[in-house]
A and B are shown apart, each in its own frame.
Chain A
Amino acid sequence: MNTAVRCLHSGRKSSAALMFRASRPRNVIACISLLFPFVLLAPGCFGQEAHPTEFQVESAYLYNFGKFVKWPAGRASPSDPLQICVLGQDPFGATLDSTVAGEKIDGRAVIVRRLSTMENPSPCGILFISSSEADRLDAVLAIAQRSESLTVSDIPRFAERGGTIGFVIQQGRIRFEVNRAAAAQSHLILSSELLKVACRIINKTPQGSER
């Protein structure tokens, strides 16, 4: 859905910008260059507009989470790209790549990395843990917490088990739960805006979990 939204958005903005600001060539050029990547994606966009898949929505959310999270200062320089890592079996495919292509968060470029095994320490700003890693979850979370990575997963009860954001499906719609305690342990500051739209906020870490 997010892809579709952004496709339409780019179309609308560019047409409006073209007509509205035709007298300012500098802006027109900027608009056209902005428009370019979306034009290439256009057929796919329109085809998926009516019913975005679960993974399309999740990949958009994955990227959007980055806008509402503050990483500890000094972890990475502003010039370094923000890495969105997918650990394990990748459910998104090209969707995630197209979602983040050309996008920036707080002036940082966004790149997608796919990991088959967990690196230690993790360089990832956002770490999506595929359901294929459910068995090794506690170990992964421990590394991620130390590495100050935002952990996201669609593994059931992920937030309860110590993850920061866990996707859930409510009434056929994709929502997410937030574990504020987990975020605090990772020294991440979650925006109240994000908490506002979370379907559930958990404030404690599970007893006996590994650190």
Chain B
Amino acid sequence: MKGPWTRSISTRLTMMNMLVSGAALLLACLAFFAYDQITFRKGLVHTLSAQAQIIASNSVSAVLFNDQQTAANTLSSLKDSSDVASAGIFTVDDHPFAQYTRPGESPIFTLPALGENQIEGHRFSARHVLLVRKILSEGKVIGFVYILADLHEIDERLARYALIAVFVLLVSLLFALLVSSAFRKSVSQPIVNLAETARRVSRDKDYSIRVANVGERDEVSVLIESFNEMLRDIQQRDAALQQAHNELEDRVSERTRELLSANRELEAFSYSVSHDLRGPLDALNGFTYLLMQQHGDKLSAGGRELIEHIRTAGKRMTELIEDLLNLSRVSTSAMHLEKVDLSQIARSIAEELSHSHPERKVEFVISNTEKAQGDVRLLRIVLENLLRNAWKYTSGHKESRIEFGSEREKGRTVYFVRDDGAGFDPRSVARLFQPFQRLHSKEEFPGNGIGLATVQRIVRRHGGETWAVGAVEKGATFYFTLGPSAGQPRG
């Protein structure tokens, strides 16, 4: 993985260098060559023009006195100019007068045309340049000199320039290569190091690594510095976070310990208080009973009534203490988990209730439910509380129906106890499971408001939850689950 991008950045730098220098050189070569071409052509025309002029003025007498030999001699001076292919003198009526041809070239018998209506000047063709000059005597044209020179020197120059350009290009590319490899250490190496470190950091999540910053003070070094600083920040933040986390953990566990011990103390306290209260209360109850039995006849009717009140209050206090002790017990007693048939328990409770109040017409509908996983003693308390509750709150109706069953909902088993009794105000549903909270007056339905709180505690100890649905005089349904696993169907 390291290979490709390590190569790529320095290769790209090198290529960039070479491309730039190559392009610049090529452009320079082209420009120079174009300039040279123009200059060369101008120079060529200039030279040929001078030669033609010399020949023209040297052949005036030859033309005037019809001396072709002398004219030919004059022309033959061109043999020193190797690029002149042929030259000649024509009379003014276009007759060839004298001619010079380079060995191997064929002579020309008509004056080559320059262009339309042009009798003097020069013309470039692909291979040649043609130059024509007038021969003047006393201001009159008496003939024409033409020189035809070939442009092989231009080709030679082109070839020479191409060769030089290629050579210089190669040398400069080599130089660019050397320069970029020299700069590679200071330019691309830091980037490569940075990239490698970044990769290691993100792979190992090790923020203690730093990139060595040894290069010159440039953008890359700033980048490296910033990167290192970022790493430092992350590391510090990590450490701070870890510390905060540890502190929090410590504090939480400390608090939990404190809370647990406070809770235990509180429960022990409330247990011992409840327990210790029972002694004097039993004495109070016992002695008022004895007072009533042994001295009741000596008391007035009013006195007996007062004693009855005391006794009733004492009994209620006993119940209250008993419930408190139960609540305390369900929170602290050890759980023995086993398979429990809730329907069976519900049936036995229903039977007890029916027996104790044979005058009431209550129909129990108890369906078979799946066996639950839990503590049988505690679950019996749950069902007893819920069914007694239902029994109690249906007492106002002549005929009523109490139902126990279960249903599947969102992959868990939900048990319910439903009645068609007094129900409750849905707005107060939040207070239902609070201890000592009652939605109905004591005169209407007796009770101390601990039953549903007990139910909730037991269900929670089983990892489940409780909730209720109801409306005033429309009955109520209490639901409970027994934890994520307790309610799962078993084979």
Chain A bound to chain B: yes
> Which residues of chain A have C-beta atoms less than 8 A from B62's C-beta?
196-197
- CB pair B92–A191 under 8 Å, yes or no, is no
Q: Is B67 an interface residue (CB 8 A)?
A: yes
Contact across chains for A68 and B140 when beta carbons are under 8 A apart? no
Task: With both chains docked as a complex, state the minimum distance between the C-beta of A208 and any C-beta of chain B, in angstroms.
Answer: 32
Q: A103-B138, A197-B70 are in contact. Are A68 and B61 (CB under 8 A)?
A: yes
Q: Hey, which chain A residues are within 8 Å of B92, CB to CB?
A: 5-6, 8-9, 12-13
CB-based contact A196/B117 at 8 Å: no
Within the complex, the shortest CB–CB distance from B357 to chain A, in Å, comes to 141
Taking the closest CB of chain B, its distance from the CB of A70, in whole angstroms, is 14
Q: Which 6 A-B pairs have the closest CB atoms?
A: A8-B93, A9-B92, A193-B61, A197-B67, A64-B64, A197-B65
Q: A5-B93, A13-B141 are in contact. Are A176 and B66 (CB under 8 A)?
A: no
A174 to B119, CA, bound (A): 30
Are B93 and A67 within 8 A (Cβ)?
A: no
CB < 8 Å: which of B67, B91, B119, B138 contacts A5? B91
B181 adjacent to chain A (CB < 8 Å):
no
CA distance A12 to B60 in the complex (A): 18
Tell me how far the C-beta of B305 lies from the nearest C-beta in chain A, rounded to whole angstroms: 153
Interface residue from A9, A20, A105, A175 paired with B142 (Cβ < 8 Å): A9
Evaluate contact between B66 and A12: CB separation under 8 angstroms: no
Taking the closest CB of chain A, its distance from the CB of B365, in whole angstroms, is 128
Majority-rule SS of B interface residues: mixed
Closest to A12 in B: B92
Residues of A near any B CB (own CB < 8 A):
1-2, 4-6, 8-9, 12-13, 16, 19-20, 57, 60-61, 64, 67-68, 103-105, 173-176, 191, 193-194, 196-197
Contacts of A6 in B (CB 8 A): 92, 140
Quick one: closest B residue to A19, CB to CB? B117
With a cutoff of 8 Å between Cβ atoms, the chain A residues found around residue B137 in the complex are: 64, 67
23 contacting pairs across A/B (C-beta < 8 A)? A2-B64, A4-B93, A5-B142, A8-B91, A8-B93, A9-B92, A13-B92, A13-B140, A13-B141, A16-B119, A20-B118, A20-B119, A64-B61, A64-B64, A64-B65, A64-B137, A104-B138, A174-B66, A193-B58, A193-B61, A197-B61, A197-B62, A197-B67
Q: Which among A9, A104, A105, A173 is the interface contact of B66 at CB below 8 angstroms?
A: A173
Inter-chain CA distance A108–B60, complex, in Å, is 19
* With A6-B92, A9-B142 already in contact, 20 other A-B pairs whose C-beta atoms are closer than 8 Å: A4-B93, A5-B92, A9-B92, A9-B141, A12-B119, A13-B140, A19-B117, A20-B118, A57-B66, A64-B64, A64-B137, A67-B137, A67-B138, A103-B138, A105-B138, A173-B66, A174-B66, A193-B60, A194-B65, A196-B62
